[in-house]
Amino acid sequence: MKKLLSILLVLAMVISVCSLASAETLEEIIAQAQTMTNEELYKKAIEESNGKTLLGIGNSSRGKTAKETFIELLKSIDPSYDTTIEWTQPKNNSIFEALTGSSEYFVTLIQDGNQIQSKMINTGELLNFVPLDWANAEGVAKENNENPLALQTLNKVFEFNNQGDKTYMNCWDFVAPDVHPLFMGVNSEPVGKNFLYMLTRDDYAAVVKDAYDKLDADKQAIFAPTIEEMEAEAADLELTGENAKYALAWIKLWCTQYQEETDDGPICNTLVDKSAAGQAGLLVYSKLRSVEESESVSVNNVTVAAYQDGYEGFGGYAYKHYMMIPKATQYPWTACAFIAYITTTQEGFKAWGKDMGGYAPVPACMQDHSNDGGDEFPAKNDRGYDWWLNTGKLVVEDPAYCASVADVMGDWIDLQIGMK
């Protein structure tokens, strides 16, 4: 019995050591891969995955298109390459549960910076990989895109139906009494909640305060009581920034009156109809691309708020799709090669870059959408990543900051929504 117990203990130690070696090996592979060119990674992927069936998982269905062109690329290098990549898109934000502890997926495209940071990065479930060709690309936007690696930044922007006499020239106009802007619920699409978290960061709170200062005295008087009420709330929430009360006031007013919708598609369909005069919303900019013109429906019935001369404050918010590698992937080289392909080449990014409102950190990946609407539909003429981040003052998701305030801010936001 003692001899059997000793053997079992030795086996347990061997298994434990092997598990540690496996984890270390993946990190070593990623470190090595970060020193290799795309062409070198493609060859390693061919060696590793030829004849295999791989499964990817992502929040975007466009991974199905990208994986096909990736396979075609590898076949052009080695005609004998015969691999199948299947792509799954989980529903109801279940991607985090699907990835936890799973060795099923070789790569993931994932959104919601807060949960990525708290559930995936802090726990080691997902590992970051930065391709050499990405790091060396000309003009690459590395800030807030490198760790975790962002495939793209997507914007959701304030729009309003311009058929009435109502105007929206300031971000505070969208939380004025009785506006009720259309918006996807923050608990059905958590990136919307991350947007509200980000407003409390000092730099974005300052944008909210500056926009308030630009209002005339009558409008300031409408919001002033809520702002003063939020001073004590900011202290309770341990938000120490001098402009935190302005951010909290905007968030409170937004949460207590927005009209919740299930998806951005219906929001867009409502706003572009002339019957929705004066109605406003916060939605994915690219939805305008698919509007079918008719007697009552037109892109021209909508104004992108931030495109107006003299608009004050932030014009919307931005969230990201991130590319990461599951810690238990069986095909790390292929994961690195796939990430390099879609984040550094225009062909790889084409599935996402074909539409306005989605921006790659590597400029060479981008297609020009500055004239998508021409003179006929100017609202569709995308002013681009740099314009939206600077002039448009998008509130951009930062996973680490979102995770740092989520515990206190999440419940507070839910409380405000419950007061509707």
Give whole-number Cα distances, 405 to 50, 96, 155, in Å. Answer: 45, 20, 22
How far apart are the C-alpha atoms of 7 and 14, rounded to whole Å?
A: 11
Do 145 and 157 lie in one domain? The reply is no
Q: 259-284 pLDDT, tens per residue?
A: 999 999 999 999 999 999 999 999 99
Work out whether strand 316-326 and strand 395-396 pair parallel, antiparallel, or are unpaired: parallel
Of 365, 382, 399, which residue is a domain's last?
A: 365
**Contact yes or no for 150/322 (Cβ under 8 A):** yes
pLDDT score of 46 more than 50: yes
> Are 308 and 383 members of one domain?
yes
3-state secondary structure (DSSP) of residue 112: coil
Lowest mean pLDDT of 3-7, 171-175, 221-225, 410-414, name the range. Answer: 3-7
Same structural domain for residues 123 and 162?
no
**Are 196 and 283 in the same domain?**
yes
Same domain, 112 and 14: yes
Q: Are residues 142 and 7 in the same domain?
A: yes
CA distance 279 to 291: 17
* 420 band by pLDDT with thresholds 50, 70 and 90: confident
Residues 141, 68 share a domain: yes
- The pair phi, psi for residue 101, each rounded to 5°, is 70, 10
In a shared domain, residues 328 and 294: no
Q: What percent of the chain has pLDDT over 90?
A: 91
Q: Are residues 283 and 139 in the same domain?
A: no
Same-domain status, 238 and 358: no
- Say whether both 79 and 19 belong to one domain: yes
> Per-residue pLDDT for 4 more than 50?
no
pLDDT in tens, 221-246: 999 999 999 999 999 999 999 999 99
Q: Which residues of 1-10 are buried (b: 16+ CB within 10 A; e: fewer)?
A: eeeeeeeeee
Confidence tier at 419 by pLDDT (50, 70, 90):
confident
Do 178 and 132 fall within a single domain?
A: no
Of 13-22, 122-131, 229-238, 404-413, the least confident: 13-22
pLDDT band at 23 (very low <50, low <70, confident <90, very high): very low
Residue 372 φ/ψ, nearest 5 degrees? -60, -35
Structure confidence by residue, pLDDT tens digits, 282-340: 999 999 999 999 999 999 999 999 999 999 999 999 999 999 999 999 999 999 999 99
Task: Output the pLDDT for position 12.
Answer: 46
- Among residues of the chain, what percentage have pLDDT more than 70? 94
Classified as helix, coil or strand, 107 is: strand
- Mean pLDDT in residue range 159-169: 96
Residues ≥6 apart with Cβ < 8 Å to 372: 289, 356, 380, 381, 382
Residue 179 has pLDDT above 70, yes or no: yes
pLDDT greater than 50 at residue 402: yes
* Res 2 pLDDT > 60: no
DSSP structure class, residue 92: T
**Residue 328: domain span:** 2-151+321-365
Residue that has been written with the tokens 């050591």 in this structure: 17
How confident is residue 120, by pLDDT bands cut at 50, 70 and 90?
very high
CATH code where residue 40 lies: 3.40.190.10
Give residue 3's pLDDT band: very low, low, confident or very high (50, 70, 90). Answer: low
DSSP letter assigned to residue 292: P
- How many domains, in total, are found in the chain? 2
Q: Which residues contact 228 (CB under 8 A, 6 or more apart)?
A: 245
pLDDT score for 24: 56
